Amino acid sequence: MASTTKEVATELLPLIRVYTDGSVERLFASPIVPPSPDQDPETGVSSKDITISDNPSISARLYLPKLTPHNQNQKLPILVYFHGGAFCVESAFSLFSHRYLNSIVSEANVVGISVEYRLAPEHPLPACYEDCWAALQWVASHSADNGKEPWLINHGDFERIYIGGDSSGANTAHNLALRAGTESLPGGVKISGAFLSQPYFWGSKPIGSESKEGHEKSLTSLIWSLVYPSATGGIDSPLINPLGPGAPSLAGLACDKLLVCVAEKDMLRDRGVWYCDEVKKSGWKGEVELFEVKGEDHAFHFLNVEAENAKAVIKRLASFLK
């Protein structure tokens, strides 16, 4: 009797397992949950799923805060959000993402758009970047009456568009902020601000407290090789190492303000601090702030939004978006 055991090509614990037949097993993922069109019972936030593009397949979950006599006639800031997950796991429709966006949208009183982009390794980078840029263009198109989404048309303030994300989503937000400096958005829309929460940046040479032993074989390095095997410069591609050789000047970030959030015990912490310092040195004309949470590790606030330190992060993000 022939064996049905599949051969593993790549295994990156605790995230993903890729088999030689091309199939993928995602080991880290929260369950997919439906939107809340009739308001989330805890936050009062309404949500719905929409399609941005059929080819390539790009969709999103839209969030609208609870409308009251105070805000129902107001135009609200717009947040275009990119979820984390190392470019290869998680979803805009997952329990973690849904809970997190409900909290941010409720606290900040913004219209939220959480982008469902294509995942690696089936769709290696730059697919995610292209999908998220297309989603940002789609949002901006509503400013010139070219869109059909009523939540954006009726409630969105296109003078206050923000982008942001966690981990790989923060990496995406950085790269889109740079792209917006060289490519215009529909209607001449500008990005008011960007938040990068525990951004996924790396490089071939360790910095700060990063271990010199096994740096090239670290999970962070191996993930990049999996999700973007053809990246020019490898782990020193400007897309993952914004301070590496040939990287564009950070002065080109096309937003007015920037918030970088880091966690003390996160292996990516020193990269976020370094990035923030270099933005300040670059001649960039905007306002940049570093927000650090002591005693916490990577993605702590995303995994448990009810924790006190998570609530502190969400409050800081909300004040930034306000």
Which residues participate in catalysis according to the annotation?
A: 167, 266
How many other C-beta atoms lie within 10 A of the C-beta of residue 131?
Answer: 24
Q: Are 298 and 267 in contact (CB under 8 A)?
A: yes
Question: What secondary structure, in 3-state letters, does the chain show?
Answer: CCCCCCCEEEEECCCEEEECCCCEEECCCCCECCCCCCCCCCCCCEEEEEEEECCCCEEEEEEECCCCCCCCCCCEEEEEEECCCCCCCCCCCEHHHHHHHHHHHHHHCCEEEEEECCCCCCCCCCHHHHHHHHHHHHHHHHHHCCCCCHHHHHHEEEEEEEEEEECHHHHHHHHHHHHCCCCCCHHHCCEEEEEEECCCCCCCCCCCCCCCCCHHHCHHHHHHHHHCCCCCCHHHCCCCCCCCCCCCCHHHCCEEEEEEEEECCCCCHHHHHHHHHHHHHCCCCCEEEEEEECCCCCCHHHHCCCCHHHHHHHHHHHHHHC
Q: Give the type of residue at 117.
A: Y
List the one residue out of 118, 92, 104, 90 whose CA is nearest residue 30: 90
Residue whose entry in the numeric block shows the structure tokens 């275009």:
80
8 is written with which tokens? 């593993």
196 is written with which tokens? 């990068």
